[in-house]
Amino acid sequence: MNIPSITLNDGNRIPQFGLGVFLMPAEETKEHVAYALANGYRHIDTAAIYGNEREVGAAIAESGIARDEIFVTTKLWNSRQTDAPAALAESLEKLGLDHVDLYLIHWPTPDFDNYLQAWHDLEQLRSDGLTRSIGVSNFHQQHLRRVIENSEVVPAVNQIEVHPSLGQFDLVDANTELGIATEAWSPLGRRADLDDQVIAGIAHRLERTPAQVILRWHIQRGLIVFPKSSSPERLRENADIFDFELTADDMRAIDALDAGNRVGPDPETFNRR
């Protein structure tokens, strides 16, 4: 499988496609991650709050693949924003790794106003070699600008909800202007966008599945994606998107599906800990 990679603003490279493991029960995670790795996946996106870091780490350890060939992301949960060094140490212990490739602040949780302190801790964790790159997730423009104006390191990525019915064009443009790569979470809209008639029409013409068309739209936008699947068949289907192209008309038709529809929480009001 020929997965393209993107160079981040710190010079590190990230595979543009991978596997997300949100809502993957811990007892199933090792099996699915192992299957994905055996079938060419080299990028796993987990988080402390997903409760499956140990199983992700076990699959990596047993894969026989060299550590530096697998890109591993985990995330600092909201309740640990004043405690990032200990939180990352716990994640590394569970993953069985001495560093991750990318560590993200999971949500800004603006009511608590701790994300700037957390960012300064992440800068130190990067200096200490415990994570190669650092970034944020669910940050809006004002959160990004505040971080950038008050610290040394510009986030390497901003991981945000993006799918055809939530195109996020302004925020993706803002990320790009700031030198920040965009990762698209829930790239399939957790299935919500799979039945759309425009996507079905393009899929029919190209003899591809709706999921493949949506994932290809993300890739051609330059976004980084890691669809979650617990099915071997769909894990293979989702990765099989690097031998066809959408036309400019296809891209515009999918862009036009933007309806501002979230499947997850709004970062402005999400303050769960």
138 binds ligand NAP (CB under 6 A): yes
**Which of the residues 189 through 208 are near ligand NAP (CB under 6 A)?**
189-191, 194
Contact in structure between 186 and 213 (CB atoms under 8 Å): no
Min separation Cβ 186 and ligand NAP, Å: 4
Nearest residue (CB) to ligand NAP, 152 versus 174: 174
**Interaction pattern, residues 239-268, with ligand NAP; x per rule: CB under 6 A:** -------------------------x----
**Which of the residues 50 through 79 are near ligand NAP (CB under 6 A)?**
none
The helix (H) or strand (E) run that includes residue 196 is: none
Min separation Cβ 50 and ligand NAP, Å: 7
Query: 123: closest CA among 77, 94, 170, 156?
Result: 156
166 binds ligand NAP (CB under 6 A): no
Token duo for residue 6 = 């993107």
Out of 84, 144, 188, 257, name the contact with ligand NAP by CB under 6 A. Answer: 188
The contacts of residue 120 (CB under 8 Å, 6+ apart) are 151
Query: 8: closest CA among 205, 201, 155?
Result: 155
Q: Which residue is nearest to ligand NAP (CB)?
A: 20
Token duo for residue 18 = 């991978």
Out of 117, 127, 231, 247, name the contact with ligand NAP by CB under 6 A. Answer: 231
Residue range at the interface with ligand NAP (CB under 6 A); choices 14-22, 59-67, 119-127, 173-181:
14-22
238 binds ligand NAP (CB under 6 A): yes
CA distances from 57 to 66, 91, 185 (A): 13, 10, 21
The contacts of residue 93 (CB under 8 Å, 6+ apart) are none
Provide the annotated active-site residues. 50
CA distance 110 to 174: 19
**Which of the residues 16 through 55 are near ligand NAP (CB under 6 A)?**
20-23, 45
Query: 100: closest CA among 123, 67, 65?
Result: 67
Nearest residue (CB) to ligand NAP, 56 versus 58: 56
The helix (H) or strand (E) run that includes residue 141 is: helix 141-149
Q: Is beta strand 13-15 parallel, antiparallel or unpaired with respect to 5-7?
A: antiparallel
Out of 91, 185, 216, 257, name the contact with ligand NAP by CB under 6 A. Answer: 185
Where do contacts with ligand NAP occur on this chain (CB under 6 A)? 20-23, 45, 106, 137-138, 159, 185-191, 194, 211, 226-231, 234, 237-238, 264
